[in-house]
Structure 1
Amino acid sequence: MARVAFIVTTCHEFEGIKVLSSVLKQHGHECDCFITSEEKDFHGAVRDYAPDVLGIYATTGQEAWAHRHIEAWKKELPHLKTVMGGPHPSFDPGNLRDEGIIDAIIKAEAEYAMLDLVNAWEGNNSIELIPNVGFLRDGEPWVNPIRPVIQDLDELPFPDVDLFYKYPFLAKKRVMQVHASRGCQNSCTYCSVGLMKKEWISGKKGERFNRTKSVDYLVAEMNDILARFPHFKMVNFGDAALNMESGWIQEFAEKWPAKVGLPFACNVNINYLDEDDIEAMSRAGCVSVQFGLESGSEDVRLKVYKKGYTDKVVYGIPTLLRKHKITYRTNNIMGSPAETLDDMFNTVRTNRAIKPNGCTVLIYRPFRSTELGREDFEKERVDFSRDIGPSIQADSQMLRDDVEEVVNLQKLFNVAVYLPFGLPLVKALIKLPRNPLFDWTLLAFLWYQHAVVSGYGMVDDFKLGLKNIGQIFGKKSGGMHSYGDTQKNQFLDTLDTGQDVSV
């Protein structure tokens, strides 16, 4: 039996870690998870657990936050092995060059790769032939071929929620975080999914990237959680879209109210949504949905982002959602190379026209894991002098003459959408120098929309911000994001704004 510790630096429950733990425990290993903000002595808690394997989840910009801890743990626990998974190592194995820090990475779905890796390390065996695993070979990063993705999600054990619900705050929040599926119908150029489909799926007959748990499995999973943690009043489905599979919503609407009965919020793909599905979701207890508008320009959505949403869909679905009394929020992107400032103001106008109950506005970031991001790097559109950490809310890394206006517009986007005089006011304000008032304006709108409109609760969301105050301002040991020799403390990145619904 090996002892595995997962570490995260945001007070939030991560579905991938829950499932990894459940698979490892099913095969006889011991697991625990440690959140920087929830431990009085984060470093000491991990050390005292004395793990054999340390698992780190990493997004781009956040891949080095734990390095100083790992260096110390490896001196205190000479047998310790470290493995990194998540979006960043799946497309950039460069962390393997951090000698003495990262022993292996896992690309793509990690359940059985992690199990094979832990088993190999426990038995002092080679890891060189394990699919999905990357390591240093002759001094250079090497990643083995990818095994087929798990086709039947029902074959997995229930996610190990105890990892996170051992923390009183997470166990007593109003809203439970749950996933019903994996994948996404779209292959948007600003998102990693398009490259995932190309690299993770072999093309063999019957192999699917988009997979959904059966309704019966999901209901059983929920009741297993609620039997032990009955405090929850609502569910947030963190999937790319709850309407992933045709016909699934109809069965869900029959069984969920009778066997679970909790109201829920979710993400939807409006290209695959009709009134029958909306009526069924309302009947099932859906109170709020979120969908990606991204741009108010149909040309940008269709030709550049490959989003697939026509203006007819964008303007038609909100009418049906209002008819069935479901609130809705939009996701929007500012500052991609595809858009002019006028295009971004068109996104404001579109939101004003469709009247969402809330707007989440992210700053475009050129990830190497996306088609559009790779094009940005090739065409030298990226400002490498801007170290923006993991942020998709705080700053832009694009080389644009109007970059300051773009960032200011993102902060003031909701003012332009919701105030009667907002559009001309924001056009004037974005020409001013950046200032903290703009940041706090964005934060206030996000807090209200997420906490009130979507039903998460203002108190819970406020407490969650306070939980992360150490890593925001660097006051707590282990809570600050670290990037090489520089440090970034992103306030907005620690607020639970519902972005777990995005792939």
Structure 2
Amino acid sequence: MKVLFINPQQEMAGLQCLSAYLKRAGHATALFNDPRLFMNLFLQSERLDRLFHVREEGFAAIEAFSPDLIGFSVVSDDYEWACAWAAAIRERCDIPIVFGNCHPTFYPRQVLAQPEVDFAARGEGEETLLELVEALGKGEDFAKIRGLAYKDHGSVRVNPMRPLIADLDSLPFPDKDLHYGPMPYLNHGYSTMTGRGCPFRCTFCHNNSSVKLYAEHGLAKSWVRRQSPRRVIAELLWAKERYGYDHIRFNDEEFAYDRGWLREFCALLKAEVGVPYFAWVSPNTIDAESAGLMGKSGCDFVEMGLQSGSERLRTDILHRRVSNERMAEAMRSLREAGIRPEVDLLLGLPTEMKADLDDTVELLRRGRPGATYPFWLRYYPVTDIFALAKERGLLSSEQIACAERDFSPRGSGYYREGNLRRESLARHYHTFILLMPLLPDWLIRLCQRWDLVRFTPAFFDSMVLAQVRRLFRGGMFDDYHLRIYHGSVWEFARLVRAWLSR
């Protein structure tokens, strides 16, 4: 059997895991990439998207590979994109289509209400997809495939959830060639994950919602799982021999939560791999010891979720119970270990006020991260923060209906909470926070003392500001951003060549 994945212009580790699992069982896989240069979260131009569309290339790839099943990995922000592709494919052929990932996991009936979608894979997909492929090949019934939702004579059947994979060491190495073939620019550095799940329960995150979903089926006890240190090293050595990378990106939700695992792994990584790396961490897990272990083993920078400098918001709204002092100490420990700390923040939180934003500016001044990434809160209906906003009357009935109906980037994000509007106060703070790594301490203090942050020009494009900041403060040419720059140029040149040949 053959499975073709349609990819939304990013290296999706989940697809690589699914492909490797299918190939180990003797099935064939391929990937077609939609570059989405003009219709994404940062740039949206329907005119350019229509001009440089790749639908015909996609149809040609389908015809050439002749798959038995077409798969989409669908987060909520990509749902409209995936539905549009599925509808276009169904007009041309009758190949079964399956959606997987977060959105089908939480909304299987909504997904299968689309006439062009035949199956929804819920939760971890390796075993579910393999059983679906083999059932299609043998003409068998789908009723016993756990984790699958499907159509049955006009009705939607949602099977019980499948238990989580307990032994991650039993899985094959990810199929990196699935992406590296059609997207060769991704081979800047090597990205992987050492485990699955997150130990924290933030109200805005899908991990919290996923744990609750699995708990409803009595399957949540093993949500956080990890490969053994030796198994991860084996993958890294295999990949180093095969691809010759010079930097590693660990995309675990939280890299440093297990101190015993971290000690063993960092020693092996330094002794046997010897390549610098990036990781995602939380201030709850970073102190002098963990930062020291990571720094000595080659970690050169991390990204850490602060979310807000307001302890009130973190405790009451986000359920992130960590003090500002601990956050500042975490950033200080990282710098002392030779690791560049970069931080994520959320603006537009429920009940957020000017005093909360001022607390965020002060925390960043104390911590002095190398880069700041302030994002606007987006509401997704399955998250606790959406329920909280509804309960407290912070969203209008129109906003609630829109979020529950429309999962596009423009439909599920609301940028007004309490007395804050994106186009006014919070927007000025957004720009100032982006610029803070470029500003000297005396200037930040002056802006605080005279309450000048609220007058920061807010008309600059945040993406442009972020690139300017990287140019002056470093990080402009790390492996992750090289992928983005190289990929954009490579894909645009390919689209132009295809357009000229029409």
Same fold (TM over 0.5): yes
**Aligned-partner Cα distance in 2 for 1:474–1:148:** 46
Asked if the contact 1:367/1:374 (under 8 Å) is kept, the reply is no
Secondary structure at the counterpart of residue 241 of structure 1: coil
Q: 1:184 to 1:248 in 2, by over 3 A?
A: same
Query: How many pairs does the alignment contain?
Result: 465
1:24 aligns with 22
| 2-structure distance, mates of 1:457, 1:195 | 28
Alignment of 1:17-56 (within 5 A): 17-37=15-35, 41-56=57-72
Alignment of 1:41-440 (within 5 A): 41-78=57-94, 80-93=95-108, 94-99=110-115, 101-136=116-151, 139=154, 141-167=156-182, 169-173=184-188, 175-201=189-215, 207-230=221-244, 232-377=245-390, 379=393, 381=395, 383=399, 389-390=408-409, 396=414, 398=416, 402-405=421-424, 406-407=426-427, 409-416=429-436, 418-420=438-440, 421=443, 423=447, 426-429=453-456, 435=459, 437-440=460-463
Name the SS of the counterpart of 2:98 in structure 1: strand
8 A Cα contact 1:59 1:86, kept in partner: yes
Structure 2 unmatched runs, 5+ = 37-53
Deviation of the 1:452 alpha carbon? 1.5
1:119 CA displacement: 1.3
* Contact persistence 2:186–2:483 (CA under 8 A): no
2:68/2:96 contact within 8 Å kept: yes
What is the distance in 2 between the residues matched to 1:26 and 1:115?
10
Kept in 2, the 8 Å contact 1:368–1:374? The answer is yes
Could you tell me how far 1:213 is from its partner in structure 2?
A: 0.8
SS of 1:452's partner is: coil
* 2:485 equivalent among 462, 473, 498: 462
- Superposition deviation, residue 390 in structure 1: 3.2
Once residues 299 and 468 of structure 1 are traced to their aligned partners in structure 2, the CA distance between those partners, rounded to angstroms, is: 45
The 8 Å contact of residues 305 and 345 in structure 2, kept in 1 or not, is answered as yes
Q: 1:113 to 1:200 in 2, by over 3 A?
A: same
Alignment check: 8 A CA contact 1:358 1:449 kept: no
Q: Any idea what the Cα deviations from partners look like across 1:84-127, whole Å, max 9, x if unmatched?
A: 1111111122121111x111111111111111111112222222
Q: Residues 194, 310 of structure 1: CA spacing in aligned structure 2 closer, same or farther, 3 A cutoff? A: same
More displaced 10-residue stretch of structure 1: 404-413 or 183-192: 404-413
User: Aligned partners of 1:144 and 1:124: how far apart in 2?
Assistant: 18
Could you say which structure has the larger radius of gyration?
2
Q: 1:366 to 1:71 in 2, by over 3 A?
A: closer
Q: Which amino acid aligns with 1:259?
A: E
Q: CA deviation at 1:397?
A: 5.0
Distance 1:168 1:15, change over 3 A: closer
Please list the CA deviations of residues 121-157 of structure 1 after superposition, one character each: whole Å capped at 9, or x if unmatched.
2222222332111124675654221121011100111
Note the 1:442-457 alignment, pairs <5 A.
442-444=465-467, 448=471, 452=475, 455-456=478-479
- Encode CA deviations 1:7-45: one digit per residue, 9 max, x unaligned: 1122x2111111111111111111111211297923322
The whole-number CA distance in structure 2 between the counterparts of 1:258 and 1:141 is 53
2:487 counterpart SS class: helix
Is the alpha carbon distance of 1:109 and 1:227 closer, same or farther for their aligned partners in structure 2, counting shifts above 3 Å?
same
SS at match of 1:271: coil
Q: CA RMSD in A?
A: 3.2
Report the 3-state secondary structure (helix = DSSP H, G, I; strand = E; otherwise coil) of the residue aligned with 1:315: helix
Cα distance in structure 1, aligned partners of 2:261 and 2:305: 21
Amino acid at match of 2:334: L
Q: Which residue type is aligned with residue 314 of structure 1?
A: M
Render the CA deviation track for 1:426-453: whole Å, top value 9, x for unaligned. 41246x6xx4x33344442575499727
SS of corresponding position for 1:262: coil
CA distance in 1, matches of 2:57, 2:219: 51
Instruction: Give the Å deviation of 1:326.
Output: 0.9
Unmatched runs of 5 consecutive residues or more in structure 1 = 478-503
Inter-CA distance 117–22: structure 2 relative to 1 (3 Å threshold): same
Once the two structures are superposed, residues 55-78 of structure 1 have per-residue CA deviations (whole angstroms, 9 ceiling, x without a partner) of: 101111311213343334334432
SS in 2 for 1:328: strand
Partner of 1:494: none
Pair 1:313–1:399, CA change in 2 (3 A): closer
Please state how far the C-alpha of 1:399 moved relative to its aligned partner: 6.0
Q: 1:388·1:395 contact (CA, 8 Å) conserved in 2?
A: no
Instruction: Please give the alpha-carbon distance, in whole angstroms, between the structure 2 residues aligned to 1:8 and 1:460.
Output: 16
Deviations 1:150-187 (A, max 9, x none): 111001111111101214633542x2111111111110
Alpha-carbon distance between aligned partners in 2 of 1:459 and 1:62, rounded to the nearest angstrom = 23
The secondary structure found in structure 1 opposite 2:166 is: coil
Q: Distance in 1 between matches of 2:480 and 2:258?
A: 30
In 2, Cα distance between the equivalents of 1:127 and 1:326? 50
> Once the 2 structures are TM-superposed, how far is the Cα of residue 460 of structure 1 from its aligned partner?
4.2
Q: Deviations over 1:330-381 (max 9, x none)?
A: 1100102131243123212211221000111111011123111233356461
Q: Please say if residues 184 and 244 of structure 1, whose CA atoms lie closer than 8 Å, have aligned partners that are also in contact.
A: no
Percentage identity across aligned positions?
Answer: 24
8 Å CA contact 1:201–1:209 kept in 2: the answer is: no
Judging changes above 3 Å, is the alpha-carbon distance between structure 1 residues 59 and 446 closer, same or farther for their aligned structure 2 residues?
Answer: farther
> Counterpart of 2:475 in 1: which secondary structure?
helix
